[in-house]
Amino acid sequence: MNAMERITEFAKSIGVYHLTSETAWGWPILESIHYVGLSMLFGTVILYDLRVLGVAKSVPVKSLHRFIPIGVAGFIINLVTGVMFYISAPANYSYSPAFHVKVICLFIAGANVMIFYTFLAKRTNAVGAGEDAPLSSKIAAGVSFLAWSGVLAGGRFLGFFKPPQHWCEWCGLFS
Partner 1 sequence: MYDFIVWLQNLPLSVWLREAFWPFPTVLTVHVLSMGLLSGVGVATGLRVNGVGGGTAISRWTQFAPVTWIAVVIVVISGIGLFLTYPAKAATNPLFYFKLAGMAAALVLTVWLNRRMRADVDIEGLRLAGAALIVLWVLVIFAGRFLAYTYNFINLLWYPR
List residues binding partner 1 (CB under 8 A): 25, 27-28, 31-32, 35-36, 38-44, 46-47, 50, 55-60, 62-64, 66-67, 70, 129, 149, 152-153, 155-157, 159-160
Which CB, 55 or 83, lies closer to partner 1? 55
Burial class of residue 23 (count of CB atoms within 10 Å of its CB; 0-12, 13-18, 19+): exposed
What is the dihedral angle through the alpha carbons of 115, 120, 121, 127, rounded to the nearest 10 degrees? -150
Work out how close the CB of 2 gets to partner 1 at its nearest, in angstroms, rounded to a whole number. 29
Which CB, 35 or 86, lies closer to partner 1? 35
Q: Which of 92, 73, 85 is nearest to 168 (CA)?
A: 92
Distance in angstroms between the alpha carbons of the first and the last residue of the chain: 9
What is the C-alpha separation between 87 and 60, in angstroms, rounded?
42
**Which segments within 20-82 are labelled E, that is strand?**
none
What is the C-alpha separation between 108 and 50, in angstroms, rounded?
19
Which CB, 13 or 164, lies closer to partner 1? 164
Which CB, 36 or 168, lies closer to partner 1? 36
Which CB, 14 or 79, lies closer to partner 1? 79
Work out how close the CB of 24 gets to partner 1 at its nearest, in angstroms, rounded to a whole number. 9
Work out how close the CB of 144 gets to partner 1 at its nearest, in angstroms, rounded to a whole number. 14
Work out how close the CB of 173 gets to partner 1 at its nearest, in angstroms, rounded to a whole number. 28
Contact 111, 140 (CB under 8 A): no
Q: Which of 41, 20, 162 is nearest to 96 (CA)?
A: 162
Work out how close the CB of 61 gets to partner 1 at its nearest, in angstroms, rounded to a whole number. 10
